[in-house]
Amino acid sequence: MTVEPERELVRRILPFVPLALVAAFAIGWLAGGSGAAWSAAIAVAIVAANFVAFALSIAWAAAVSDTMLAIVALGGYLVRLLIFTLVLVGLNTLAWFSPLAFICALMPAVIALLVYEAKILTGRMQADMWSFEGATHS
């Protein structure tokens, strides 16, 4: 049995999350104290949780149908943007929260995730990563 590519990406990325959380917290602490540290760590945690949720939802949708895969992929993009926005707005009501630290951690975390994901997929077509039971190669 072959692991879905999305689950493989999650497996490869999760070991880096604790290191990224600690780094974001430390840099936030040095840059602006405890509020900035927690704000930066929360941003990294949200990026990681968002990635895992999206990858697993894509893996599920791919097993259902091509139509469901398209719906989840396109709808998931909008849902992720909405979640990031709502979390930022909600956290901004807290006195200790630093929107600047949050954004300054969120953006590099998203970029690092995308770069690592692209590196893993370099030279491989996404379709090459899926296997279909009963399919024959000619």
Per residue in 30-67, pLDDT tens?
999 999 999 999 999 999 999 999 889 998 998 899 89
Across the chain, mean pLDDT equals 87
Is pLDDT at 138 greater than 60 in this prediction? no
Residue 132 has a CB neighbour count (10 Å cut-off) of 7
Q: pLDDT band for position 105 (50/70/90)? A: very high
pLDDT above 70 coverage of the chain, percent: 86
Contacts of residue 16, Cβ cutoff 8 Å, sequence gap at least 6: 116
Contacts of residue 5, Cβ cutoff 8 Å, sequence gap at least 6: 126, 129, 130
